[in-house]
Amino acid sequence: MLGNAFDRLAHRGGRGDAPPALLEALMPRPPLELLEDVAYGPLARQRLDLYLPRDPKARRRLLVFVYGGGWDAGARRTYRFLAQMMVACGFAVAVPDYRLWPEARFPDFLHDTAAAIAWLHRNARGLGGDGSRLALMGHSAGAYNAAAVALDTSYLEEAGASPSIVRGVVGLAGPYAFNPLDYEQTKDIFAPSREAPHRAQPIRLVRALAPPMLLAHGTIDQRVLPINSVRLAAALQDAGSEAAVRLYPRHGHVGLLLALANPFRRLFRVLDDTVAFLDHALGRPG
């Protein structure tokens, strides 16, 4: 199965968090302006790369992609393949780094995610964009970050921005319903949440008037089980918020992300569903 092959290709040191470098070479090369190593805060990992389409209409829609890596690994430049793909679909794309374990613990990486979003909102106009047309997209731990910041209004408020600036969230294989204190890999990272464990679980942060969410998951994902997306979507709907879940057969954890890659677009619907949702949340280019 091609979905399983994606996961095997992406496997690195037992973690499987980095997509294969060959995908970047296969991506479309849309005309864009790349702003690298832009500081959104004073710390070393508070940097982002910004991919700006040459088309001024496409610049008006801003997508912030938050990568995964278990909160202890990851680098923004690994995801150029995804940024190029989404630029070709009519978005400006920002990929921020954020602090990782052991330098950081919960909720440091959420504060960084919110700070990057707030910076982009404040500076969108100067870059030819529209700060009122901003959406989030994340994979795995990055989907967790995106959902937590969108649901817990305190992070954006502390960053000096209104929670209403987030117009939509695309979550890919996010661990929204797990308790990080129950797992060896994450219990130390999330140790500060013992005082308020509900703040570390996006499903317990559900609220009315949350941004619309598209929660996507591969049905054969064994690292983050699909029930995470199913349960969060149901909880959001019960609270009166707009949420949809999409389950993709034959996709594993990393395969779901790599299915966004252009050479395989016609084989799977992940990219088409994502773009359709973002068109609904942000409006079409123009």
pLDDT of amino acid 10: 46
Q: What is the pLDDT of residues 138-154, one digit of tens each?
A: 999 999 999 999 999 99
Residue 208 in contact with residue 240, Cβ under 8 Å? yes
Percent of the residues in the chain that have a pLDDT greater than 70, as a whole number: 88
52: DSSP letter? E
Q: How many CA atoms lie within 13 A of 269 on its CB side?
A: 9
Three-state SS for 201? coil
Q: What is the CA radius of gyration of the chain?
A: 17
Instruction: Quick: pLDDT tens for 192-203.
Output: 999 999 999 999
Q: Please give the pLDDT value at position 12.
A: 44
Structural domains of the chain in order of their starting residue, each with its CATH number: 2-282 (3.40.50.1820)
Residue 171 has a pLDDT of 98
How far is CA 161 from each of CA 134, 149, 165, 224, rounded to the nearest angstrom? 12, 12, 7, 31
The DSSP letter of residue 210 is P
The alpha-helical segments, DSSP class H, found in 205-252 are 227-238
Q: Are strands 134-139 and 166-172 parallel, antiparallel or unpaired?
A: parallel
